[in-house]
Chains A and B, each alone.
Chain A
Amino acid sequence: MYISSIQLRDWKAYVDATFKFADTTDGRNVVLIGGKNGYGKTSLLEAVILCLFGRFGMPLIGRASTGDTEKLELSYNDFLERAFHGQALTHGRTHCSVTVTFEGVNEGKIKIQRRWHFTGSGKHRADQEEVLIYEGPDEDLVMIPRLEDRNEFIHSYVSQKFLMPSLAQFFLFDGEQVRKLAQKDMATQVRQGIEGILGVPIIKELSYDLREYAKQKRSGVGNIGDEKLDKLRIEISELEQQEEIVQNKLNEINPEIDRLTKRFEHLFSELALLQGGSYATLKEHFETKEGIRRKCDKLKDEFFDLLTKNIALALTGIELRAETRNRLQAESLREQWEIGKKQGDMNLEKFLITLEESFSEIYPSLSEGQKAALKDQVISSWHRIWFPPPDNCATEYRHGYLTESLRTLVIDHLDSLDELAINQVKYMLEEIKDLEIKIKQIDAQIAQQSGIEHELENIRLELKRTEEEKEMLRKDQKNLEQQLAGIRAQLNPKRQEFGRLQEKLHSVGPNLKRSSLADKIAGMLNALIDEVIPIHIHDLSEEMTKAYRAMAHKDIVKRIEILQDCTVKLIGESGRDIRDMDPSAGESQIFALSLIAAVTNISNRRFPIIIDTPLARLDPDHRKNVLKYFTQLNSQVIILSQPEEVYGDYLELIKPRVNTEMTIEFQALANDVGCARIRNGYFWG
Chain B
Amino acid sequence: MMAETGVVLLDSNIGRKILREACNKEKIQITTIEELVIAEMEQIGKLRKRGLYDRFDEIIDAEICNEGE
Contacts and interface: CB of A to CB of B under 8 A. Distances in A.
A369 to B, nearest CB: 164
Interface string B10-54: 111011001100110010100011001100111111111110110
A500 interface: no
A200 interface: yes
Contacts of B60: 514, 517-518
Given A198-B15, A532-B15, A514 B41 contact: no
B8 interface: yes
Contacts of A151: 45-46
B53 A216 contact: yes
A198 B8 contact: yes
Nearest to A531: B18
Interface in A526-555: 527-529, 531-532, 535-536
A203 B57 contact: no
A529 B33 CA distance: 13
A514 B67 CA distance: 12
A162 to B, nearest CB: 10
B44 A164 contact: yes
Contact of B41 (A160, A210, A602, A603): A160
A390 interface: no
Nearest to B23: A524
A205 interface: yes
Report the interface size class on chain A.
35 or more
A205 B46 CA distance: 12
Interface residues of B, number: 39
A532 B14 contact: yes
B3 interface: no
SS class of chain B's interface: helix, strand, loop or mixed? helix
Nearest to A197: B8
SS class of chain A's interface: helix, strand, loop or mixed? helix
A273 interface: no
B40 A152 contact: no
Nearest to A164: B44
Contacts of B44: 155-156, 159, 164-165, 202, 205
Interface in A589-641: 602-604
A210 B63 CA distance: 14
B56 A156 contact: no
Chain A CB count within 10 A is highest, among B26, B41, B56, B57, for: B56
A202 B7 contact: yes
Contact of A152 (B5, B9, B46, B64): B46
Interface in A242-273: none
Interface of B: 5-12, 14-15, 18-19, 22-23, 26, 28, 32-33, 36-37, 40-50, 52-53, 56-57, 60-61, 63-64
30 contacts: A155-B44, A155-B46, A156-B46, A160-B41, A197-B8, A198-B7, A198-B12, A202-B40, A203-B9, A205-B44, A209-B43, A209-B52, A213-B56, A216-B53, A517-B64, A518-B56, A518-B60, A521-B28, A521-B33, A524-B22, A524-B23, A528-B18, A528-B19, A532-B9, A532-B12, A532-B18, A535-B14, A536-B9, A603-B8, A604-B11
